[in-house]
Chains A and B, each alone.
Chain A
Amino acid sequence: MRLEAHELVFDYGRAPVLAGVSFELVPGRLVGIVGPNGAGKSTLLACLHGALRPRGGRVLLEGRELARIPRREVARAIGVVPQRCEVAFPVSVEHFVGLGRFAHERWLGGPTQADRVVVQACLEELGLSALAERPVDELSGGEFRRVLIAQALAQAPRILLFDEPVQQLDLLHQLQVMRFAREFSRREGHAAAIVLHDLALAARFCDELVLLERGRVVACGTPESVLTVERLRAVWGVRAAIERSPATGAIQVVPMEPATEEDR
């Protein structure tokens, strides 16, 4: 399943957030979207699954314009793991994950036995079976993140989009989420994109990085090609060293000090 964005333009009133972003997500890849604060990463993600309508440009899903596809059909193809989810009235984990099946249910009706089976499988895959009856407002940060993933997974999508999923998670859960994302993208015909601040995780797990700065794509390619010392200085304003980890083989960014005016 291909997801493409062409020349996306978006602004909140006056301030432009995306100024012509083109992006392609092909099956089998885990793409990391990185960049400093305010670069437009979350906005790009929102446009990619149709939560926001871009002022200019188009998003194509399998060649069809996203805006013309009914929401239900989009939800069957694209799953989103959001940064936050405010639950007004706490429901059980099982019920919450089950809501991901909405896109597959009949128009006027509820979940079927088949839907319940899928939900159980998702809970198991994310290690949540023991928590199935727990109300979602009694979960820890890591547990709730997994529940959000399980819910997106219940949509049985081909594409998963993650919006800063590893913030406020401890090391173990960060690792779990990233490994899950990579494994998902390796499945037949599946792809995933993930918005990240943590460059080490991005470099280690993503096949490809897209670097956004002030609403434009300034670099796109393998982590090694995107994360260079000059880029770190120019885009993040930081003087850093790039090292290769002997344990994982992935590059690591070690920030040293803020870059001065002459450096930039």
Chain B
Amino acid sequence: MRLHPASVILLGLALCALALLASLAVGVIRVPLAEIAGALGGRGGDSMARTLVLEMRLPRGVGALCVGAALGAAGCLLQALLRDPLASPTMIGTAQASGFGRVLGVYLGFSFGGSVLLSFVMAAAGTLLVLAVSRSRRGFPSQIVLLCGINVGLFFAALIGLVQYASRDEGQLSRMVLLLLGGLWQVTWEPLQFIAPLTLACIALGLLGARRLDLFSLGEESAGRLGLATRRAGPAILALACLLTSLAVSIAGVIAFVGLIVPHAARRIVGPAHEKLLPASAALGGLLVLGVDCIARTVVAPNELPLGVLTSLVGVPFFLYLLRAIARRGGAA
């Protein structure tokens, strides 16, 4: 599809805004549209509609959009950087490191804010570990970075298992499992106040460097001969992807498959040029997580399904289809 990059960004933002408004009408309690509009307009006083819309559904929707956009963008960055159609945010170790930080926070009895901080610290540690081990004088060795990421991820997953084992009581363990299954049950405005702008800033930064992503897709040697200093650009892009991932994990826990499948779907719609692909991945990711979250809280009402479980259920068939397409084309895509 021949689309100007600016129109991709605008269209993406518009679709996300529309979806957000639509999500306000979805839920266990029926709220007439008039009341939703009223609540958004500031009227409605102390009514149930106002509470539902402004304090419960809106922050949850915004949270879902942030998480989806962050994961979609991170997946896009990583697939370009590592030249791997199967790369995703859960494969660089950051998701597991962030998860470990949150779970450790539960174990030590930290508040929500303290746990989030701990998850960032762990994510940074995981990223630095990957960068330090794969550091090379000759540039940015994608394969080694990928392997490091997977192993660092396994290490932190093992640490998570250890903390679970040491959990003091069933409540703690339950909360840890909840975190790791992934969900937006607890989203409030407080963390969104800095996570939402940060997510947007990171995506904007990625957008400014979109050409570098195009170059990385050609391989490290080609990127170098065309003038890209891969030794500096590589770690910078990786750090950006890790930051986006840990932002998502800090609100919603570990959500698999979004970062993997969204860039592929986006590529089919807008093509592989990253000045369009990156905003499209972010928008599509946001829409996906928002949609799945709406399903999660309504399909078995009054119960709620864990978000991470649902994204896996949706993601696996798509992933298998993707693998089939790669196999049919004869090996490496």
Residue A173 CB within 8 A of the other chain: no
A53 partner residues in chain B, CB cutoff 8 A: 137-138
Residue B219 CB within 8 A of the other chain: yes
Contacts A53-B138, A102-B211: A155 and B83 contacting too (C-beta < 8 A)?
no
Contacts A82-B221, A88-B333: A102 and B229 contacting too (C-beta < 8 A)?
no
**Could you tell me if B333 and A75 are in contact, using CB atoms closer than 8 angstroms?**
no
**Could you tell me if A108 and B138 are in contact, using CB atoms closer than 8 angstroms?**
no
**Could you tell me if B85 and A51 are in contact, using CB atoms closer than 8 angstroms?**
no
A153 to B80, CA, bound (A): 24
B219 partner residues in chain A, CB cutoff 8 A: 85-86, 88
**Could you tell me if A99 and B214 are in contact, using CB atoms closer than 8 angstroms?**
yes
How many chain B residues sit at the interface, stated as a range, is 20 to 34
Apart from A87-B218, A110-B211, 20 more pairs, CB < 8 Å: A51-B221, A71-B228, A72-B229, A75-B227, A76-B227, A82-B222, A86-B218, A88-B217, A88-B218, A88-B333, A90-B272, A95-B272, A95-B273, A99-B226, A100-B226, A102-B215, A102-B227, A103-B227, A108-B209, A151-B226
A74 partner residues in chain B, CB cutoff 8 A: 227
Contacts A88-B83, A110-B275: A155 and B227 contacting too (C-beta < 8 A)?
yes
Binding site of B, secondary structure by majority: helix, strand, loop or mixed? loop
Contacts A51-B221, A88-B83: A75 and B226 contacting too (C-beta < 8 A)?
yes
A86 to B219, CA, bound (A): 7
**Sample of 23 A–B contacts (CB below 8 Å):** A50-B224, A51-B224, A52-B138, A71-B228, A75-B227, A80-B225, A85-B219, A86-B83, A86-B218, A88-B85, A89-B267, A89-B272, A91-B272, A92-B271, A95-B273, A99-B214, A102-B215, A102-B227, A103-B227, A108-B208, A110-B210, A110-B275, A155-B227
Residue A124 CB within 8 A of the other chain: no
Binding site of A, secondary structure by majority: helix, strand, loop or mixed? loop
**Could you tell me if B226 and A102 are in contact, using CB atoms closer than 8 angstroms?**
yes
Residue B35 CB within 8 A of the other chain: no
B273 partner residues in chain A, CB cutoff 8 A: 91, 95
Residue A249 CB within 8 A of the other chain: no
User: Distance in Å from the Cβ of A251 to the closest Cβ of chain B?
Assistant: 33
A95 to B267, CA, bound (A): 15
B84 partner residues in chain A, CB cutoff 8 A: 88
A91 to B228, CA, bound (A): 19
Tell which of A89, A100, A105 has the most Cβ of chain B within 10 Å: A89
Contact with A82, one of B137, B138, B225 (Cβ below 8 angstroms): B225
User: Distance in Å from the Cβ of A34 to the closest Cβ of chain B?
Assistant: 22
User: Distance in Å from the Cβ of A69 to the closest Cβ of chain B?
Assistant: 11
Contact with A along B211-251 (1 / 0, CB 8 A): 10011011101101111110000000000000000000000
User: Distance in Å from the Cβ of B267 to the closest Cβ of chain A?
Assistant: 7
